[in-house]
Amino acid sequence: MPKSIYQYPDWPNFKWDDSAINSIFGEVRHLQGKISGQMDSLGFSIKEEARLTTLTLDVVKSSEIEGENLNYDQVRSSIARRLGINAAGLIPSDRHIEGVVEMMLDATQNYQNTLTHERLFGWHSALFPNGYSGMYKIEVAQYRTGEMQIVSGAMGKERVHYEAIEASKMNTEMTTFLDWFNSNYKIDPVLKAAIAHFWFIIIHPFDDGNGRIARAITDLQLTRSENRTERFYSMSSQILTDKKRYYQVLQIVQYSDGDITEWLDWFLNCLKNALLETEKSLEKVLDKANFWKKHENTPINERQRLLINKLFDGFEGKLKSSKWAKITKCSTDTALRDIKDLINKGILEQEQSGGRSTNYILVE
């Protein structure tokens, strides 16, 4: 196996080529400012809605990167409850979701607090409340005491992709990392987020959950870069979209001699795309707000309100009367009456797709 980045005498003094990342770095900083400005011009309820959507996406997508699918509505309800946001149709969420949400909110809402060993242990136990990862018992709320390899392939034909720093050095390595993270070292906060993410992944201090905690650290540091608790873009959603390249770049740079230019370039491009996505979703949030303003005096029942909001928030699949009935827990006849009523009010229309089943969409 080639020499790992942490085996070079200069570890962990990272280096990079400023000229290679200056342009993309400038774009990211410009977009951050632009979106903050756009958000500040919005009304309180729209801002709250955008914030709730972003945080929900961040939690759901960060778990999805690890192959775990969390229930979107449960995550959204958990965040709304904890932030005191008045959101319609709150539902109870399980202990695991509560733990993931707790970590995420601690990172973004308490971003000014020092990052300590204890705080990381708290995040770790929130991710694994019963001490198990799937079927396997793991060491929780402590750094790993066993060696760590990232392996793929069938038994007997395993391929080692990465061998992390030995367990005996975990305390020392993490103390060095946290001292740097909490210091006022003269480096731009966005670049610091990129370096922190990479550095933490290389140390791989926990038995499991390293990716999710690395992304929470990134979110904490990006929140510091804007000095505000409101989040309007989701880095995890973008990492998920570019997951293959994410792992490729980590794979390449973990064997460099300390030069992390390629990683910084990927990270900044990923952040830029996350910000551009936010510009798009901002339009959706505005459309939704304008819709409800326009229809504030239109008689709309709770079932209709629930489904209209779902359509604005990105409804998965096609809306059919059977789905309407299932989601709102009503009969198919009631669902059809609800739908016909909204068609008469010019809110829904039949999708012109032909085929045997009828789908409904919002009128543009």
How confident is the model over 100-151, as pLDDT tens digits? 999 999 999 999 999 999 999 999 999 999 999 989 999 999 999 999 887 7
Mean pLDDT of 275-290: 82
Cβ-contact 132, 126 below 8 angstroms? no
Beta bridge partners of 133: 136
Q: Mean pLDDT score of the chain, rounded to an integer?
A: 92
Of the pLDDT bands very low, low, confident and very high (cuts 50, 70, 90), residue 355 is low
Q: Which segments of the chain are extended strands (E)? A: 132-133, 136-137, 149-152, 159-163, 348-350, 360-362
- What pLDDT is attached to residue 186? 87
Torsion sign, CA atoms 133, 139, 143, 148: negative
Name 79's Cβ contacts closer than 8 Å, sequence gap at least 6: 52, 55, 56, 59, 85, 101, 104, 105
Mean pLDDT of 42-68: 89
Beta bridge partners of 163: 149
Cβ-contact 322, 361 below 8 angstroms? no
* Among 221, 259, 263, 261, residue whose Cα is nearest residue 239: 263
Mean pLDDT of 199-204: 97
Predicted confidence (pLDDT) at residue 222 exceeds the cutoff of 70: yes
| Cα gap 105→111, rounded to integer Å | 9
Of the pLDDT bands very low, low, confident and very high (cuts 50, 70, 90), residue 204 is very high
- What pLDDT is attached to residue 290? 84
33: its two tokens: 């400012």
Under CATH, which architecture does the 297-362 domain have? Orthogonal Bundle (1.10)
99: its two tokens: 């733990």
DSSP per residue, 72-136: HHHHHHHHHHHHT---SS-----HHHHHHHHHHHHHHHTTTSPP-HHHHHHHHHHH-TTSEETTE
Cβ-contact 281, 212 below 8 angstroms? no
The domains of the chain are located at 5-287, 297-362
Find the angle CA(195)-CA(104)-CA(310) to the nearest 5 degrees: 120
- What pLDDT is attached to residue 354? 61
Of the pLDDT bands very low, low, confident and very high (cuts 50, 70, 90), residue 42 is confident
pTM of the model: 0.81
CATH number of 5-287: 1.10.3290.10
